[in-house]
Structure 1
Amino acid sequence: MAFFDKVFASVGIGSATVDTKLERDRYTPGETINGVVEIRGGKVDQQVDDIYLSLNTTYLKESDDKKYNVTATIDRFRITSPFTIGKNERKEIPFSFQLPLDTPLSIGRSKIWVTTGLDIKNAVDPGDKDFIQVVPNQLMNAIFNAVDGLGFRLREADCEEASYKVRGRLPFVQEFEYVPTSGPFRGRLDELEVVMRPSGNGAIELLLQVDRRARGLGGLFAEAAGLDETNVRLTVTSADIPNLQQQIQSVIQRFS
Structure 2
Amino acid sequence: MALRTFLRTLGANAPSVDTLVTTARIRPGTPLRCEVTVRGGGADLDVERLRLELVVRAEDLEPDGSTTWNNPYVVSHATGDPFKLPAGGTVVRHVTLDMPWEMPLTHARGVRLAGSRVAVRTELAVESAVDRGDFDEIEVHPLPHQELVFQAYEDLGFRFHESEVKLGTQPWPDRMKDRRTAPFWQELDFHFPASWNRGTQELETVLITRPDEIDVHPGGYPPVTLPAGEPDRARYTRALEEHIRSYWS
**TM class by smaller structure:** 0.7 to 0.9
* Counterpart AA for 2:91: K
1:241 paired residue number: 231
Provide Cα deviations, 1:139-186, integer angstroms capped at 9, x if missing partner: 001111111111211122222345723484655421111122255xx2
Write the distance in 2 (CA, Å) between the matches of 1:173 and 1:108: 16
Q: Do the aligned partners of 2:76 and 2:97 also contact (CA within 8 Å) in 1? A: no
Q: Do the aligned partners of 2:50 and 2:124 also contact (CA within 8 Å) in 1? A: yes
Write the distance in 2 (CA, Å) between the matches of 1:172 and 1:55: 14
1:39 paired residue number: 38
Q: Which runs of 5+ in 1 are unaligned?
A: 1-8, 210-229
* Counterpart AA for 1:155: H
Alignment counterpart, residue 149 of structure 2, candidates 143, 147, 158: 143
Write the distance in 2 (CA, Å) between the matches of 1:232 and 1:148: 21
Write the distance in 1 (CA, Å) between the matches of 2:60 and 2:49: 31
Q: Secondary structure at the match of 1:127?
A: coil
1:55 paired residue number: 54
* Counterpart AA for 2:131: D
Residues 94/127 of structure 1: CA separation in 2 closer, same or farther (3 Å cut): same
Alignment counterpart, residue 198 of structure 1, candidates 185, 189, 209: 209
- How many angstroms does 1:232 deviate by? 2.1
Structure 2 residue 86 is the aligned partner of structure 1 residue 86? yes
Q: Which runs of 5+ in 2 are unaligned?
A: 1-7, 107-112, 173-177
Q: Secondary structure at the match of 1:140?
A: helix
Residues 124/52 of structure 1: CA separation in 2 closer, same or farther (3 Å cut): closer
Q: TM-score, normalised by structure 1?
A: 0.76
Q: TM-score, normalised by structure 2?
A: 0.78
Structure 2 residue 28 is the aligned partner of structure 1 residue 22? no
Write the distance in 2 (CA, Å) between the matches of 1:10 and 1:140: 41
Q: Secondary structure at the match of 1:141?
A: helix
Alignment of 1:222-237 (within 5 A): 231-237=221-227
Same amino acid, percent of matched pairs:
24
1:180 paired residue number: 192
Larger Rg computed on CA atoms: 1
Q: Pairwise CA RMSD of aligned residues?
A: 2.8
How many residues are matched?
A: 223
Alignment of 1:55-204 (within 5 A): 55-61=54-60, 70-78=71-79, 80-106=80-106, 107-125=113-131, 127=133, 129-162=135-168, 164-166=170-172, 168=180, 170-182=182-194, 186-187=196-197, 190-199=201-210, 201-204=211-214
2:243 paired residue number: 251
Higher strand share: 1
Q: Do the aligned partners of 1:48 and 1:120 also contact (CA within 8 Å) in 2? A: yes
* Counterpart AA for 2:206: V
